[in-house]
Amino acid sequence: MKKIVAILSVLTLFSGCIGNDYSSVEIVENSPYPEFIYLNKDMIKMVVNKTSEKPVSDYFFIIFDGAYIDKNNYSKLAVRTPLWRFGSIFVNDDIKAKNGLIFLNSDFVGTPDLKYNMPLNYNDIIVYNKNYGIFIEIGHEYTSAEIIAENLSRNKYFMEHTNDIAGKNIINRTIIEKDDILIGTYVLESGIPIGDINNSLFKMDITSTS
């Protein structure tokens, strides 16, 4: 933990180098984990401030682009930052720096299957696995979400009839069939319990043929 704090402190000194905003397509393509949860810098701020004893300055978060969490092991984390090369100062068995990422307790695992990777509007939170992709944007009044899944009758039934996503009631929905893919666009109640992200939070009764 001390080394992680040291890394972040060093990076903050160079935070005049502003991070980038990546599209949902770029985020999925560049994931170091086949199945992952991605949080952009705004969501990282929400998580840190929710779990920290004291509020953290907005200035601190300038250095981040986002963070990937390995969906199969929540202790594995990859932080995307334009200052990733400075992470090499602290490299050991638990910390690695490569390809724009600082890995904590992990390394590159593999690339995702891109069949659910489409140009979408939302990238505050992305949940991506072998069965579906969920793309979420947190708004002040509403939360918006898009679900991409294989065009199977079971998946369509779930997407048309589920009452909530991540515990938030669905206000409105549109389901589009596009070749072998289903695209569900949802308007939800405001907010996502971001500090409690885990596999059960985004568990969907959605499957795939692969």
Domains of the chain: 2-104 (no CATH), 116-196 (3.30.200)
**Of the candidates 38, 114, 102, 26, which has an alpha carbon nearest to the alpha carbon of residue 69?**
38
Whether residue 174 is predicted with pLDDT greater than 70 in this model: the reply is yes
Mean pLDDT of 103-107: 90
Of the listed ranges 83-92, 126-135, 176-185, 195-204, the one predicted with least confidence: 195-204
For residue range 12-63, what is the model confidence (pLDDT) as tens digits? Answer: 444 444 556 789 999 999 999 999 999 998 888 887 777 777 777 776 777 7
- The one-letter code for the residue type at 30 is N
The residue to which tokens 């935070």 are assigned: 15
pTM for the whole thing? 0.84
